[in-house]
Structures are given as structure tokens and as C-alpha cells.
Amino acid sequence: MTLDRTPTRAHPTDRRAPRPPLLVTADPALREELQRLAAAAGVTPQVAADPLTALRSWTRAALVLVGGDLAAPLADLAPERRDGVHVLAWGTADHELFRAAVALGAEDVSELPRSEGWVVEALTDIGEAGRPRGLVVGVVGGSGGAGATTLACALGQVAGRTGDAVVVDCDPLGPGVDRVLGLDRTAGFRWDALCQTTGRLSARALREALPRRRGVGVLSWYAGTPASLQPFAVREALSACRRGHDTVLVDLPRTDDPVVAEVVARCDVVLVVAVPTVAGVAAAARVCARHRGRAPVTLVLHGRAVDPREVAASAGAPVLAVVPHQRGLGEAVDLGLGPVRSPRSPLSRWCAELLERLRDPAVVPALPVSQPAGDPGRAA
């Protein structure tokens, strides 16, 4: 059972030094079991056998696991509210334990031994607590055929050279990011499997389970299978991807529904890929208008047929960059090499420059989340 909590969102550049978890229990059997699970996760915990000792490390611990035997006494001391507090019980938890958990501000009450897997995954993620939360970039086509999926995959390829990157396919009717990157025949987890799971996803476990090549992984569907986004799976997958990767590229559909709106709201920035024609800019303006207020939105032009300033004025969103023409792009994708065939190609250099701008703390916060109301369909 999960208790009510207020989620906190860290900025992608936040860095926190790894800290040990805190185990709070006077039960020798429970302490031995939790230490065994911590060893399996590769972390060394601090152990407090009484509530007063627990208070000394309460705010500094990366994660706090409170045994059911000390939950009520610890709650009586009213420790400072914090994230990452979990209460563990042997067997079935009773109502009194849930009351103590609420008083502690715990996120949930888990029952052992059936929650052993979740405990190991939570402890495993602590080993990566020192890495910054990944930058999440949504990419959506301003119109059909604008090249949003290709751009998301190209950015993923370039980001994978300097850190862990993942391209998340949220467009069920798209070509499939695994196919564009030549990973469609590579074994690994797809949405089909994740939608059958429940509970918290480990960042490391997901990263290692995805099809991956040269630093970039993909989360997509099996070809030819019915595809739909499940809200719970999307939330857990994006959270785990962000915790376990430096850069997360999300290929967004042009259709709109509550799940897509939630995905957009979880992005640090959304790139709307626009074709610089009258019709293309008109369509892109409608896409920008749809996502106003959800996330910072900016345009990426696929060509130079129209002055970027006129496009920005018509679409109500700034133009951040213009995609260069890449010769042999279709051939590279057909050969399974992905959009970026060579690190020295113009597209490769352009993607590197764009990623550098997106990681600049002065760029993304300056992008507007909302624009003045107007006619989203009016183009220059």
C-alpha cells in the first residue's frame, strides 16, 4: 500500500554525494535480513537499534528503512519530514503500523519476504545517487514527416558518446526508435514487458535490460504488436530512465491524450520539429499551442525556406536551431547504422552543439512555458 506523498523534482544538474542507507530496527532477524539485502545491492548501511540513534543520521541517509518494531517509538519522537522513508514489516502489516508510517511521513509500508526484490532495487539505486538526474528532452513533429523520430535518435546517438543515453518511444504509430537505430533485432526489454510489471523500477536494472549499442539504449515496442501507453508503466519507466541515464530523448506522438500530456509535463524541454513552409509552420503552431503551460517549448527548423524570426512570431515559440541537411540519411537508417553515420558529419556536430545548449543552465530556464493567446493556426 502506498501512502500519500508530495513528489519532489530535482533539476537535471543537481549532484548529490552518495550516502549510505539507514536501517532502523532492534529485531536481530530483521536486521540480518536487511543487511543481507544491502550486501546483494552492493551498499553498506548504517544500523540504528533504537530511535534516538536513528535521529543522528535521519536527515543525512540516502534512504531510511524502518522496521515495524521501531516505527511507533520513532514516530513518537516526531523526526523531521523527509523523502525516502519506508516501513518494513514481517508478514502482514496491521493498522497500527500504517498509522505509525503516516506519522513518520513514510512513503509506503512493505511486507517481507515478498517485497525483497523491491528492497534490493531501492538499495541498488543508492549506488548511483551521486550522478545528476538526466536531462529529459521531448521531441515531437510539428507536422507529419517533419523528422522528429530521426532527430530524437540522432541526438541519442551523439549523447551516448559522452554518457549513458536512452531514446524512449512514446509514439505507438511511429516507425519505432529501435528500428531507426538498427536495434530492432537486439534482445532486451520493450514496453510490452514493462506494461506487465508493477512496482518501482530500478534505474540500473532497466538500463542494463534495454537493447543498447555504443552508449545509447532504446525503449520501444516489438514490431507488429498492438501498442498503447499505460500510465503507470510510463511514469515508472521515465523515472528510472532519468535516474539511470545522463540524457533521455522522448519521441512524442502528435496525438494528444492525458498520458501524452503527463509525459510532456515530465520533460525539461520539448523540441517541436517544424518544416519551414506555410502549412508546416501552421501545423507546428498548433502543436506548440497544445503544449503551452506543460513544459518549455522551442522550435527546431528542418530547412531554411522561411526566416526563423517569422516562424517564431507565427508559432508563438522561439527557434532554437536549424537542422542541417544530411546526405545519405535514409541509406544510413536502412543499413541499421542510425541517422548519425559518422562522428564527423554535419549532423553529428550539430547534435553535439544542440545538446550542449540544452544542458546550459541559462538556456532551458529562459524558454517560455506559456505564450500569449492568439490564433495558433496563423502562419507568416
Residues 73, 160 within the same domain: no
Residues 356, 268 within the same domain: yes
Residues 85, 202 within the same domain: no
Residue where a domain stops, chosen among 78, 98, 126: 126
**What three-state secondary structure class fits 65?**
strand
214: left (phi over 0), alpha (psi -120 to 50) or beta: left
Residues 247, 269 within the same domain: yes
**What pLDDT is recorded for position 132?**
67
**What pLDDT is recorded for position 170?**
93
Which CATH number is 56's domain given?
3.40.50.2300
11 closest CA partner among 133, 128, 164, 125: 133
Please, which residues bridge with residue 109 across strands? 87
The DSSP element (H or E) to which 379 belongs, if any, is: none
Q: What is the pLDDT of residues 236-288, one digit of tens each?
A: 889 889 988 999 999 999 988 888 999 999 999 999 999 988 999 999 999 99
pLDDT at 73 over 90: yes
**What pLDDT is recorded for position 224?**
64
**What pLDDT is recorded for position 379?**
33
At 210, the pLDDT band (50, 70, 90 cuts) reads: very high
pLDDT at 374 over 80: no
Over the chain, what is the mean pLDDT?
A: 85
All 3 cell numbers of residue 104?
A: 513518520
All 3 cell numbers of residue 59?
A: 536527515
**What pLDDT is recorded for position 371?**
46
Q: Is residue 319 part of a domain?
A: yes
Residue where a domain stops, chosen among 109, 126, 143: 126
For the chain, how many structural domains are there in total? 2
Residues 121, 58 within the same domain: yes
Residue where a domain stops, chosen among 64, 92, 126: 126
291 closest CA partner among 311, 325, 266, 310: 266
The burial of 198, by beta-carbon neighbours within 10 Å (0-12 exposed, 13-18 middle, 19 or more buried), is given as exposed
**What pLDDT is recorded for position 380?**
31
* Residue 226: alpha-carbon gap to chain centroid: 23
pTM above 0.85, yes or no: no
**What pLDDT is recorded for position 203?**
81
Report d(CA 235, CA 124) in Å as an integer. Answer: 19
At 40, the pLDDT band (50, 70, 90 cuts) reads: confident
Which CATH number is 167's domain given?
3.40.50.300
Q: What is the pLDDT of residues 140-181, one digit of tens each?
A: 999 988 899 999 999 999 999 999 999 999 998 888 999 999
63 HSE (CA, 13 A, CB side): 25
At 15, the pLDDT band (50, 70, 90 cuts) reads: very low
